[in-house]
Amino acid sequence: MNGLKGAVLAAPFFDMKLDQTLLKHYAIYLRLELSLSDNSISAYIHDVSLFQQYLEAKCNDIELDSVSMETIEQFLSFLYDIDIGASSQARILSGLKSFYRYLMQEKIINSDPTELISSPSLGRHLPEVLSYEEIQRMIESIDLSQPNGHRNKAMIEVMYGCGLRVSELITLQISNIYREDGFLRLIGKGDKERLVPIGDSSLEILFQYIEGARLQVRVKPKHIDTVFLNGRGMGLSRQMVFLIVKELAKSNGIKRNISPHTFRHSFATHLIEGGANLLAVQQMLGHASVSTTEIYTHISDALLRDTLTSFHPRFKKN
């Protein structure tokens, strides 16, 4: 998310929809009437810019007065799907609410589509988890004859095999792969470094891509050390990884709400189910507190209860 901030003021906006003049007036409103700091104003404009980019990509650039409550809800669902956390979603929604209040105040629109939308819950929810068989089926279904086949297979293998966040996946550097030792050096949240083991089979698949298909891409100088590249020789975006995962799940008949983060959840859950030490899992995931990791024990409990209610005669429904 932070990577978008530098480009916010240069990003294209709606014309009436939202032209540069309207944007400048909104910034003046934030400064003079709400007495916000420069950093806060940049953050609010960033939120509107992110929504504008979503509209352009998903909704054919519809006008602001045509945006409905459903459009806003679909945008929030999109943020969830690309692994934007609940607290960040709440902040972005707050920015949109402020913008629409301004539009209403200036009589630019007649109704506020954000008025009845509540902020995403910051409570703890059990995340979606794939079975090992489902993940294996997805990996095996990837067509290696396609240009990005080896890359996509390596991505899924590393996300699941090492429990990576999508941000860690797309910023993974070749120089941070310790092949002989079987470790990846990762830069996680808060620029914290950690070492994560990687299995021999995952390493083999990863280097089949690095020493094979990746060599066919003309790499931009800035991305010479980046592992996963698009066809233009640049690093992948979170959205691109999300779309790849969604398409792969769909092609394998998986109808649940799957995202790149699902592989991280599955990694942790399968470790806990297999009897792994909670503190070891915490370290591999890069969680600051073991209480965050404990959610995966609850997932395992839920799976056990589902098994009991499905197969035990005293729990079966008549």
Catalytic one of 189, 220, 232, 256: 189
Query: Catalytic residue at 261?
Result: yes
Over range 8-15, report the average pLDDT: 34
- Say whether 264 is catalytic: yes
Model confidence at 147: pLDDT above 80: yes
pLDDT tens figures, 240-249: 998 999 999 9
Residues 299 and 127 sit within 8 Å (Cβ to Cβ): yes
Give the right CATH number for 132-311 from 1.20.20.10, 1.10.287.1080, 1.10.443.10, 3.90.1150.10: 1.10.443.10
CA-based angle 21:26:27, to the nearest 5?
A: 100
Length of the chain: 318
Q: Which member of 214, 223, 264, 265 is catalytic? A: 264
Global pTM value: 0.58
Matching fold, domains 2-105 and 132-311:
no
Interacting residues of 311 by C-beta distance below 8 A, sequence separation 6+ = none
> From residue 190, how far is each of 43, 167, 242 by CA, in Å?
19, 12, 22
Summarised one tens digit per residue, pLDDT across range 192-237 is 888 888 989 999 999 999 999 999 999 999 999 999 999 999 999 8
For the chain, the domains span 2-105, 132-311
Taking the C-alpha atoms of residue 249 and residue 266, their distance in angstroms, rounded to an integer, is 14
Q: Which pLDDT belongs to residue 251?
A: 94
Task: Tell me whether residue 287 is one of the annotated catalytic residues.
Answer: yes
296 has catalytic annotation: yes
Q: Distance of CA 241 to CAs 64, 169, 183, 245, 298, Å?
A: 29, 9, 23, 6, 28
- Kindly indicate whether the domain formed by 2-105 is annotated with CATH number 1.10.150.130: yes
Active-site pick, 97, 150, 165, 223: 165
Neighbours of 220 (CB within 10 A): 13
User: Taking the CB of residue 290, how many other CB atoms lie within 10 A of it?
Assistant: 12
Query: What is the full DSSP assignment across 108-119?
Result: S-SS-TTTTPPP
- The one catalytic residue in 17, 194, 246, 287 is 287
Task: Please give the Cα distance from 43 to 59 (Å, whole number).
Answer: 23
